[in-house]
Amino acid sequence: MRYRNTQQLIADLEKSGQLIRIHEEVDPHLQVAEIQRRAFRAKAPAIMFTNVKGTKFPMVCNIFGTMERTRWIFRDTLRALEGIFKLKVDPFDFFKHPWRYAGVPRAGYSTMPKKVKTGPVLDNTTTVSQLPQLHSWPMDGGGYVTLPQVYTESPDKPGFMHSNIGMYRVQLTGAPFEKDKEIGLHYQIHRGIGYHHAEALRRNEPLKVNVFVGGPPAMTMAAIMPLPEGIAELIFAGALGGFRMPMITRKGQLPLLAEADFCISGTVYPNEQKPEGPFGDHLGYYSLAHDFPLMRVDNVYHRNDAVWPFTTVGRPPQEDTVFGEFIHDLTAELVPTVFNGVHEVHAVDPAGVHPLLLAIGSERYVPYAEERQPQELITCGLSLLGNTQTSLSKYAILAAKEDNQALTTHNYKEFFTHMLERTDFARDFHFITRTTIDTLDYTGISLNQGSKLIWTACGPIKRTLGSSIPSNFSLPDNFSDAKMFMPGVVVVKGPKHTAARDEHDNAMFRLAEHLKNVGKLDSLPLVVVADDADFTAANWDNFLWVTFTRSDPATDMYGAGAFTHCKHWGCAGPVIIDARLKSFHAPALEEDPDVTRAVDSMAAKGGCLHNII
């Protein structure tokens, strides 16, 4: 089945038992978001809410709630698309120049958008305030679109082939915005819309923007797909959807997705920004209010039977975890063609995706050396941090395939064991300071600015990792609660963080000096300092989330016997990562207790969601 709109998809999901309808009134302010998160955790069917407070439009969630359902949605086209990605030629060239590959059946034909004069999306008009006002978390600054397809075209080269579709956050309401006339457009760095906006600013022209909601599910997936610059997501959507995307073209207007449920059409004028946020984000913390482009609303369109698809994000795993897994499975074989020498990459979802990237690369530069040391691995790390979405990674940790052909980045214990056994702490940490980092990451020295670490290891095993805390291990005042997490890694509770942003913490220097004086801790090479040692050491999800979302490499890594030589930092070990919540960090996400109790009631026996969530 090639789903051309939300209505076809809902009907087929319902027919196959993969969607249920809830007719009891629900509130888009926090309540439906908590239901969606529980539905995802329970691997529940998609849920359609037909009676939503404050709006006439139904809402639907959890459509992509499981990998099995996501692959089922694209079952008729997935094999052909996977074939394209396995082309012996450059598979990305297929999406740049699909007409060159007429021999690839149907998928090639489907890539080219179809120009139409009208479509269902133009059936009706409404206003922003009449749309569902989804608030996912208590501190959210207003109602948000959480599955938008934000469409723009290059001002320098208008047309489909130089268009961009991205899932950029859209704030519909909130104190800064004039009702029904303005919305907030939050796009992060390294996004295609940014290039279009830069062209418009250079030309001193406004940028036209269309925000589609709903429509073909292939468009939603295309908006998330991390395609290289120069490849239009609209082309990929056609290949994934299995049909030519119908786009309404009107003279002097930006094209509209004919089968979308909604379209908010607007204009971003030069040098107009307003505060957008806060918003409970996918790292598990709020992104706070910052100035982002202001979009002036020109029209809001919707089809007769419009349904509002939504999701929520928060501490992983969430529904966007499935998006990431789907994209990884689709593109895994492309990794060596994009990053020379890299065999496998894994943006770690429990750590919030961008904070931690694990990779396996080659170390072939000096194969005759008596003892190999990381050289090609460093080149691989620089490549990963310089291209595509992997460039947003904060910790890039690379192992050499030659040391263990069976090693995988998806077995965390095995991978970290491999690294800790082989790392030379005086040599193998390479910091990039005062550089660009993910907009949503508040561990750096300012918005969009912080540090990155390339951590490499290769060669023979250098140490045996201890499986228990050594008898001589001790801690200075204000540090306590040492917990063994895995062989070689201990988590300790530290004092509350009070240092300013962009400053080291003297308490960490005291800890490093103390561990240096303890001595003989070679079997314990990594110490993580947290606010709650029990929580952090409880499982891998907690450990990865705390360690890598609450630390900036250059600011928050310390070491016993640390030194700096010719700008290179190293230490004798143990290495210390300060993973406490910092005084300047954004707050972690917490659900509203009253809403939780209300959803508990709906899930209890006799409730409309009993045995569902």
Q: Is there a contact between 613 and 38 (Cβ–Cβ < 8 Å)?
A: yes
pLDDT of 230 over the 80 cut = no
Helix, strand, coil proportions of the chain in percent (round to 5)? 30, 25, 45
Which among 310, 345, 377 is the end of a domain?
Answer: 310
- pLDDT tens, residue by residue, 510-527: 999 999 999 889 999 999
pLDDT in tens, 262-298: 999 999 999 899 999 999 999 999 999 999 999 999 9
* Residue 108: strand, helix, or coil: helix
Strand pairing category for 489-493 and 526-530: parallel
Please list, in sequence order, all residues whose beta carbon lies within 8 angstroms of the beta carbon of residue 261, skipping any fewer than 6 positions away: 5, 6, 121, 213, 214, 215, 302, 303, 306, 307, 308, 309
Token digits of residue 48: 């359609």
In this structure, is residue 178 part of a structural domain?
A: yes
Q: Are residues 118 and 231 in the same domain?
A: yes
Which pLDDT does position 93 carry in this prediction?
66
Q: Which amino acid is at 469?
A: I
User: Which has the higher per-residue pLDDT, 501 or 187?
Assistant: 501
CA-CA distances (angstroms) from residue 535 to 288, 483, 485, 540? 25, 10, 11, 10
Q: Which of 227-231, 304-308, 338-342, 429-433 has the lowest mean pLDDT?
A: 227-231
pLDDT tens digit sequence for 404-427: 999 999 999 999 999 999 999 999
Domain check: are 306 and 345 in the same one? Answer: no
Residue 471 lies in a domain: no
> Same structural domain for residues 439 and 516?
no
Q: Count of residues for the chain?
A: 613
Q: What percent of the chain has pLDDT over 70?
A: 96
pLDDT higher than threshold 80 for residue 118: yes
Cα–Cα distances in Å, from 544 out to 316, 412, 499, 598?
A: 11, 9, 23, 32
- Check residue 495 and report its DSSP letter: P
User: Quick one: pLDDT band at residue 116, thresholds 50, 70, 90?
Assistant: very high
One domain for residues 228 and 289: yes
Percent of the chain with pLDDT over 90: 84
Q: Which two tokens stand for residue 534?
A: 């029990």
| Residues 33 and 76 both lie in one domain | yes
* 465 located within any domain: no
pLDDT tops 60 at residue 316: yes
Q: What is the mean pLDDT of residues 490-513?
A: 96
* pLDDT value at 337 more than 80: no
| pLDDT value, residue 439 | 85
* pLDDT at residue number 229: 74
Q: Are residues 440 and 563 in the same domain?
A: no
pLDDT of residue 90: 61
Identify the DSSP state of 501: T
Is position 550 within any domain? yes
Q: Are residues 390 and 527 in the same domain?
A: no
Q: What residue has token string 């709006």? A: 55
In the chain, the amino acid numbered 361 is G
Give the model's confidence band at 106: pLDDT under 50 very low, under 70 low, under 90 confident, else very high.
Answer: low
Same domain, 485 and 452: no
Residues 303, 340: one domain? no
* Rounded mean pLDDT, 9-32: 98
Indicate if the pLDDT at residue 89 is higher than 50.
Answer: no
Do 453 and 484 belong together in one domain?
A: no
489 is a domain residue: yes
Domain membership of residue 330 (yes or no) is no
Instruction: Say how far apart CA 420 and CA 403 lie, in whole Å.
Output: 13
Is residue 584 in a domain?
Answer: no
**Side-by-side strand order, sheet with 114-116:** 114-116, 246-248, 256-257
pLDDT (0 to 100) of residue 576: 98
Range with the poorest average pLDDT among 126-130, 171-175, 470-474, 525-529:
470-474
| pTM for this model (two decimals) | 0.92
Instruction: Determine, yes or no, domain membership for 344.
Output: yes
Q: How far apart are CA 535 and CA 530, in angstroms?
A: 9
Single-letter code of the amino acid located at 81? L
pLDDT above 70 for 389: yes
Please count the structural domains in the chain: 3
DSSP secondary structure string for all residues of 364-420: -SSTT-SS--SSHHHHHHHHHTTSTGGGG-SEEEEEEGGG-TT--TT-HHHHHHHHH
pLDDT of residue 211: 98
Helix (H, G, I), strand (E, B) or coil at 452: strand
Per-residue pLDDT tens over the stretch 141-198: 999 999 999 999 999 999 999 999 999 999 999 999 999 999 999 987 667 798 999 9
Give the pLDDT score at 372. Answer: 86
Q: Is the dihedral of CA 24, 30, 32, 35 positive or negative?
A: negative
pLDDT at 92 over 70: no
CB 46 within 8 A of CB 148: no
Q: Are 421 and 462 in contact (CB under 8 A)?
A: yes
Instruction: Please check whether residues 393 and 501 belong to one and the same domain.
Output: no
Buried b vs exposed e over 98-129: b needs ≥16 C-beta within 10 Å?
beebeebeebbbbbbbeebeebbbbeeebebe
What pLDDT shows up at residue 82? Answer: 75
Name the region of 195 (left: φ>0; alpha: ψ -120 to 50; beta: rest).
alpha
User: Left, alpha or beta for 57 (phi > 0: left; psi -120 to 50: alpha)?
Assistant: beta
| Domain extent for 53 | 6-310
pLDDT over 60 at 610, yes or no: yes
Same domain, 494 and 372: no
Per-residue pLDDT for 105 more than 60? Answer: no
* Stretch (H or E) spanning 73: helix 67-73
Q: Is the dihedral of CA 4, 9, 11, 16 positive or negative?
A: positive
- Distance (Å, whole) CA 538 – CA 535: 5
Q: What is the CATH number of the domain that holds 432?
A: 3.40.1670.10
Of 272, 274, 218, nearest in space to 81 by CA: 218
The yes-or-no verdict on residue 232 having pLDDT over 50 is: yes
**pLDDT at residue 12 in the model:** 98
> Mean pLDDT in the chain?
94
